[in-house]
A and B are shown apart, each in its own frame.
Chain A
């Protein structure tokens, strides 16, 4: 609804103010051009999707493994956390060209950048989630003679799930942007390079069309995480009903 209203206002403004379509094209024009250039858009979206998914998968696995190590070792947690926080303060604009310089125009630097921007929210969510385990549940398992690893598997990991999915939703919104940024810094194909070219050719309509595609991608990924959460946490629904 809000999006429809925004588009309508934009359409009206673009038509009535007499602004040149090379400065601000109307949404209708963007849609038309997107349709005309759909093959090129599709061809360029594909590498972006690939970089996003691979990068995200790498980041997810690394975050998961490291979170377990950090949960089992307090010194490791103390040592590593500052490093990760610093990694988050690095400006992407500066990092992206460097990574491309070091690793070339292929898939690797893109995967690395996507991983870099999505890694931290998931790691923090997992580590915090483990900590949120109900004290009584841990004590109960201990009284049953469960090992530390069993306590982690039976109690700490499931307790972290709601936190994990919250972190996942934040991460996924960064993922596409991260990939586009990497392509912007240098790529043969991809939405990032498509946007760069369209800008250089004074085609704001195609820039916006590509932005539309990336926004749709992000929304789809977000939707998938919500779906996965429903499947992975079927009890969550009842807890929310109860809270009301």
Chain B
């Protein structure tokens, strides 16, 4: 199918005796914002490890842009859980990391990235170390480090999980604006129902470990989702439905070890 950026079919993964992914299938189309929502420890980050090539699937097929993937250097950019900024590098040098790995000189990489700092609210902080920045700024730096890679798919693993509620909300709004403006294609991992509904076109709800797709939700809310009264009402109806799926299956599955 044209415009298909990512397709996973019946992905299975075990760590030793532990089954972590039990036949996960999902897809992301060009320009879409898709979320994977599931309880902690379900296997969400493991899914991204398979996508980046850090781990290998025990079964199933992965294709990016219609081609089955193998080896390193795939056409996707990964933002790990926690910001994974290098504490010993300045913000600017963290952001240029990928360009440097690709063989660009530090100077050229800096020149290329500097014009983008303003839009990410990092202007004036390029020479600061990550430890000197607020949580929100660190996440914006980590996101900038991801998007400078100019890949056809962004993989975002709980980018706002460590932020306080207020910062998180403002970061979500900012991300929606940026996604729209830059026509990114994004696959987001989260365990925050509200975040998933606010940002996504579609949501895959995963079960607890071993993870399967319980349900796929379409989120037909108009954009930009700036928090108007009508939008909020519709959103909360969808949130309730999503939450119900998560909770009911949780009970049906019984307590997990």
Specify whether A and B are partners: yes
Q: Which residues of A pack against B, CB within 8 Å?
A: 134, 136-137, 139-146, 150, 154-155, 158, 161, 233-235, 238-239, 241-242
Residue of A134, A150, A234 near B101 (CB, 8 A) is: A150
Contacts of B98 in A (CB 8 A): 144
Q: Which one of A139, A145, A161 contacts B54 once the chains associate, using CB atoms below 8 Å?
A: A139
Bound-state Cα–Cα, A72 to B77, Å:
27
Of B72, B82, B97, B131, which is within 8 A of A239 by CB?
Answer: B131
> Judging by beta carbons under 8 Å apart, are B131 and A143 in contact?
no
CA distance A146 to B101 in the complex (A): 6
Min Cβ gap A177→B in Å is 33
Across the interface, do A155 and B86 meet the contact criterion of CB distance under 8 Å? yes
- Contacts A136-B82, A161-B88 known; list 17 others, CB within 8 Å: A137-B84, A139-B52, A139-B84, A140-B84, A140-B97, A142-B53, A143-B52, A143-B76, A143-B77, A144-B102, A145-B101, A145-B102, A155-B86, A233-B88, A235-B88, A238-B129, A239-B131
How distant is B64 from chain A, measured CB to nearest CB, in Å? 13
Q: How far is the CA of A238 from the CA of B132 in the complex (A)?
A: 6
Q: How far is the CA of A140 from the CA of B85 in the complex (A)?
A: 10
Q: Which of A143, A150, A238 contacts B78 (CB 8 A)?
A: A143
Interchain CB contact under 8 A, B86 and A158: yes
Whether the Cβ atoms of A145 and B73 lie closer than 8 Å is yes
A241: chain B residues within 8 A (beta carbon): 131
The SS class assigned to the A binding surface is: helix
A155–B101 CA distance with the chains assembled, in angstroms:
12
Contacts of A134 in B (CB 8 A): 82, 84
Closest chain-A Cβ to B172's Cβ sits at a distance in Å of 21
Q: Tell me which residues across on chain B come within 8 A of A142, comparing CB atoms.
A: 52-54, 72
Query: Within 8 Å of chain A (Cβ to Cβ): is B87?
Result: yes
The total number of A-B Cβ pairs within 8 Å is 66
**Interchain nearest-CB distance for A197 vs B (Å):** 49
Within 8 A of A (CB), among B77-119: 77-78, 80-82, 84, 86-88, 97-98, 100-102
Nearest Cβ in chain B — how far from A154, in angstroms? 8
Q: For residue B7, which residues in chain A have a CB less than 8 angstroms away from its CB?
A: none
In whole Å, how far is A190's beta carbon from the nearest beta carbon of chain B? 40
Q: Chain B: which residue is nearest A238 at the CB level?
A: B131
- Tell me if B49 counts as interface (CB < 8 A to partner A): yes
Name which residue of chain A comes closest to B72, CB basis.
A145
* A142 to B56 CA separation, bound complex (whole angstroms): 14
Complex A-B: 5 CB contacts under 8 Å? A136-B81, A136-B84, A140-B80, A144-B101, A150-B101
Q: CB distance B52 to A158 under 8 Å?
A: no
Measured CA separation A205–B171 after assembly (Å): 70
Cross-chain contact of B86 among A137, A143, A144, A238 (Cβ < 8 A) = A137
Could you say which residues of chain B place their CB within 8 Å of the CB of A155? 86
Q: How far is it, in angstroms, between the C-alpha of A96 and the C-alpha of B3 when the chains are bound?
A: 74
Q: From A155, which residue of chain B is reached at the shortest CB distance?
A: B86
In whole angstroms, what is the CA distance A134 to B81 when docked?
11
Check A143/B53 contact, CB under 8 A, given A136-B84, A150-B101. Answer: yes
Find out whether the CB atom of B54 lies under 8 angstroms from the CB atom of A235: no
B149 at interface (Cβ–Cβ under 8 A)?
yes
Report the bound CA distance from A139 to B49 in whole Å. 8
Interface pairs A-B: 8 shortest CB-CB: A136-B80, A143-B52, A136-B84, A238-B131, A143-B78, A235-B129, A145-B73, A158-B88
Which of B88, B102, B129 counts the most A-chain CB atoms under 10 A from its CB?
Answer: B88
How many whole Å from A80's CB to the nearest CB in chain B? 28
A143 to B98, CA, bound (A): 10
Q: Separation in Å of the A142 CB from the closest CB of chain B?
A: 6
Taking each of A143, A155, A158, which has the highest tally of chain B beta carbons within 10 Å of its own beta carbon? A143
**Cβ < 8 Å to A, chain B residues 118-156:** 129-132, 149
Cα distance, A233 to B89, chains bound together (Å): 10
Write the chain B residue with the least CB distance to A161: B88
A146 to B103, CA, bound (A): 10
Q: Which A residues are in CB contact (< 8 Å) with B88?
A: 158, 161, 233, 235
Q: What residues of chain A lie closer than 8 Å to B52, measured between beta carbons?
A: 139, 142-143
Chain A residue with the shortest CB-CB distance to B155: A143
CB distance from B48 to the nearest CB of A (A): 9
Task: Name the interface residues of B41-78: CB closer than 8 Å to any CB of A.
Answer: 49, 52-54, 72-73, 76-78
